[in-house]
Chain A
């Protein structure tokens, strides 16, 4: 294959691979902007993947499956809010127990309904958009499922706009930085956190559903395998700004797609592929050290709010 088509394929693969983690990362962005570190992201993605698949399979419609995933994600977000906002439970423990719960629940439900089949059950995935297919170079890249288009062209701009150009977004940001000031300004800190966590949960679940409904067409227990933690890294990398998060997600996704492609081509490199994959994480940790001095870190992150 000539270099141009390789590049086109790489870019196409990047968009494909990035979509689910980007959605989850935007969800986590909203949650953290409101002051809650949601470690339940891994479990919520799992849950979304399962519900999307299950409902799509039973109902015959992928979009209804997606809708069900959104609802499931909102429920997951509400549970996290109940634990951390209303009950004031430690955020890391809440998040991890939700991940454990939702992962277990998803696998339980899957096993119950699909038994121990030797071949995983399948659904017809979302078809890619092919109207631009014949354009040279861009045509290859443009063959993405509609959800990818929606993610990059609708979700990102809306997420940015909502956060920076609406009073709702202003409230979220103030609650995550200085809940006392927000409270003094008459904002209900608890309600805003509930809302942010619900939005976040919905996006995380959709991220998972994209994996089962648009990429794999099935559900396995390896379907998420750590992408939730990747999303957390991306949020920091992207400085809690949806547009930067998008670029961060593309970098992580691109690295992943690149090493897949190199492996498929049988290229042997002096350093192991895992170095590429680990590099974005190392950079993120460095970004955290710098961010610690720079006040982008939502100042009230991890602190439950109690009006004394």
Chain B
């Protein structure tokens, strides 16, 4: 009998169907991976199981009994625990204090007694943490262990881990896997959400692949290859706007990135010694699941993040480490990755459109707002933006916001355009318009660096495709050679590891055979 059985789960957010009649079951004593790209619905499904979302339809059964889970408290009562990517820990408190936070029944916190209990629990579950240590002194891997201990302390029989290795260094990953295998052997059921193929094949017993909200299939990890998984993960038709001619007459190289490295906000390396070129009149697509350094790459190229090493040659001139204004002056059009953070919400459309080149509108010390408004009117007409110049930008829809940001950049006729995640969260109409704009720029002779988590978009628009994985370029392929399988493999880190294309030898497995 399954510990957890989710049947026919559907969840919609507005027009977006995050989960579409998904079935999922979990056995005791197994590590079950949920594999898929961004937006496939993995996190949504688990948030439903943990009581953070309510499904529109479908049922959940725990140990064969139907249950209603309306909040994390209900989930915990049913023995379900979840460890998210952003830890819910309080750094200045001790490990013991964090473990019992919200779980204490008495008024007095008996320090030594609680620490004793937590130490015992840690020993029992084989989780290596010191109850008296302050969380803020712990490494990321240790903090994750505290999160796991929190769940186990509350008698979890099911543990959900959401992309647990995203924040870990390799040694910590090893330790985590050891812990998980030990827990699994004691009968715990573990759900492992991931997009990394080699991890999934290394540690899990079964894999359920989700794609665009649907469950594609559930397979035994032992009997499947990474490329098979990759195909399940990404293979589909692409619709909408796409490149017309496959052999592009690309011009000379306009952007050359050499050995670029940069750290993320936590000071850890996010971009590791990356090199690539973008030519005029071509679109280079950078594909990859989010969190593999794309954000930091875009920020470094845009001048809002300082690189730690490397060169960024724009038309031969090195602009690495230059300010955003200097980079723009070199002919680079920069679009921010998060459109909501890229505009000043309370300011008007015309002000936002002029924000990065205000001095063009200054005449004898005075800001000429009428001219700013006129520029805005022109751009609104040219890009068909549904807004008036004096509207507050935060009232605009996502698509129109993106058009404002794009218009701001394209109106200066840049020779290189950097566009990260341009259509994330947009509807079909807005997406098509943006893509048409990008193709038009390519036509015009600009070099376009398109960074996108949407593989379909990359495949539709790019002349060449680079895949980023864990901060490095896993591979660059011309569009003609880039099949979904190859890309999926690169995106999942497959081709880089020593695992061969052959399936692993079958392993003893006590569970249903599913395929």
Do the beta carbons of A174 and B90 come within 8 Å of each other?
A: yes
Sample 6 A-B pairs with CB under 8 A, ordered by A number.
Answer: A166-B109, A167-B108, A169-B109, A173-B93, A174-B101, A181-B89
Q: Please, which residues of chain A bring their CB within 8 A of the CB of B93? A: 170, 173-174, 177
Bitwise interface map of B from 74 to 115 toward A, beta carbon under 8 Å scored 1, else 0? 000000000000011111110001001111101111110000
Do the beta carbons of B91 and A177 come within 8 Å of each other?
A: yes
Q: Name the residue of chain A whose CB is nearest to the CB of B102.
A: A185
Interface centre among B87, B97, B101 (most CB of A within 10 A): B101
Do the beta carbons of B88 and A170 come within 8 Å of each other?
A: no
A165, A187, A295: the one within 8 Å of B101 (CB): A187
Do the beta carbons of A181 and B90 come within 8 Å of each other?
A: yes
Q: Name the residue of chain B whose CB is nearest to the CB of A181.
A: B88
Q: Please, which residues of chain B bring their CB within 8 A of the CB of A168? A: 107
Q: Name the residue of chain A whose CB is nearest to the CB of B103.
A: A185
How many chain B residues sit at the interface, stated as a range, is 20 to 34
Whether, in the assembled complex, A223 has its beta carbon less than 8 Å from a beta carbon of chain B, the answer is no
Do the beta carbons of B73 and A177 come within 8 Å of each other?
A: no
Do the beta carbons of A177 and B90 come within 8 Å of each other?
A: yes
Contacts A167-B106, A170-B97; is A295 near B88 (CB within 8 Å)?
A: no
Q: How far is the CA of A264 from the CA of B110 in the complex (A)?
A: 50
Q: How far is the CA of A174 from the CA of B107 in the complex (A)?
A: 16
Whether, in the assembled complex, A296 has its beta carbon less than 8 Å from a beta carbon of chain B, the answer is yes
Apart from A165-B110, A182-B101: 7 A-B pairs, beta carbons within 8 A: A177-B90, A178-B90, A181-B89, A185-B102, A186-B72, A295-B136, A299-B91
Would you call the interface of chain A mostly helix, strand, loop, or mixed? helix
Do the beta carbons of A167 and B104 come within 8 Å of each other?
A: yes
Do the beta carbons of A170 and B108 come within 8 Å of each other?
A: no
Interface residues of B in 455-502 (CB under 8 A from A): none
Q: How far is the CA of A22 from the CA of B91 in the complex (A)?
A: 28
Do the beta carbons of B72 and A177 come within 8 Å of each other?
A: no
Q: Name the residue of chain A whose CB is nearest to the CB of B134.
A: A295
Do the beta carbons of B109 and A173 come within 8 Å of each other?
A: no
Q: How far is the CA of A295 from the CA of B137 in the complex (A)?
A: 11
Interface centre among B91, B92, B108 (most CB of A within 10 A): B92
Q: How far is the CA of A168 from the CA of B101 in the complex (A)?
A: 10
| Contact surface of A with B, Cβ cutoff 8 Å | 164-171, 173-174, 177-178, 180-182, 184-187, 295-296, 299
Q: Name the residue of chain A whose CB is nearest to the CB of B110.
A: A165
Q: How far is the CA of A199 from the CA of B282 in the complex (A)?
A: 65
Would you call the interface of chain B mostly helix, strand, loop, or mixed? loop
Do the beta carbons of B102 and A186 come within 8 Å of each other?
A: yes
Do the beta carbons of A185 and B91 come within 8 Å of each other?
A: no
A165, A174, A177, A180: the one within 8 Å of B109 (CB): A165
Q: Please, which residues of chain B bring their CB within 8 A of the CB of A181? A: 87-90, 101
Do the beta carbons of A178 and B107 come within 8 Å of each other?
A: no
Q: Please, which residues of chain A bring their CB within 8 A of the CB of B103? A: 185
Q: How far is the CA of A169 from the CA of B92 in the complex (A)?
A: 13
A170, A180, A182, A184: the one within 8 Å of B104 (CB): A170
Q: Please, which residues of chain B bring their CB within 8 A of the CB of A187? A: 101-102
Q: Please, which residues of chain A bring their CB within 8 A of the CB of B111? A: 165
Q: Name the residue of chain A whose CB is nearest to the CB of B136.
A: A295
Instruction: Kindly provide the distance from the CB of B205 to the nearest chain A CB, expressed in whole angstroms.
Output: 29
Q: Name the residue of chain B whose CB is nearest to the CB of A174.
A: B90
Q: Name the residue of chain A whose CB is nearest to the CB of B82.
A: A184
Q: Please, which residues of chain A bring their CB within 8 A of the CB of B73? A: 186
Q: Please, which residues of chain A bring their CB within 8 A of the CB of B97? A: 170
Do the beta carbons of B91 and A295 come within 8 Å of each other?
A: yes
Do the beta carbons of A178 and B88 come within 8 Å of each other?
A: yes
Do the beta carbons of B91 and A178 come within 8 Å of each other?
A: yes
Instruction: Kindly provide the distance from the CB of A20 to the nearest chain B CB, expressed in whole angstroms.
Output: 29
Instruction: Kindly provide the distance from the CB of B265 to the nearest chain A CB, expressed in whole angstroms.
Output: 15
Q: How far is the CA of A1 from the CA of B88 in the complex (A)?
A: 61
Q: Please, which residues of chain A bring their CB within 8 A of the CB of B87? A: 181
Instruction: Kindly provide the distance from the CB of A187 to the nearest chain B CB, expressed in whole angstroms.
Output: 5
Q: Name the residue of chain B whose CB is nearest to the CB of A299.
A: B91
Do the beta carbons of B107 and A185 come within 8 Å of each other?
A: no
Q: Please, which residues of chain A bring their CB within 8 A of the CB of B106? A: 167
Instruction: Kindly provide the distance from the CB of B147 to the nearest chain A CB, expressed in whole angstroms.
Output: 10
Q: How far is the CA of A185 from the CA of B89 in the complex (A)?
A: 9
Contacts A186-B72, A186-B73; is A178 near B89 (CB within 8 Å)?
A: yes
A165, A167, A177, A185: the one within 8 Å of B92 (CB): A177
Q: How far is the CA of A177 from the CA of B97 in the complex (A)?
A: 13
Q: Please, which residues of chain B bring their CB within 8 A of the CB of A169? A: 109
Q: Please, which residues of chain A bring their CB within 8 A of the CB of B91? A: 177-178, 295, 299
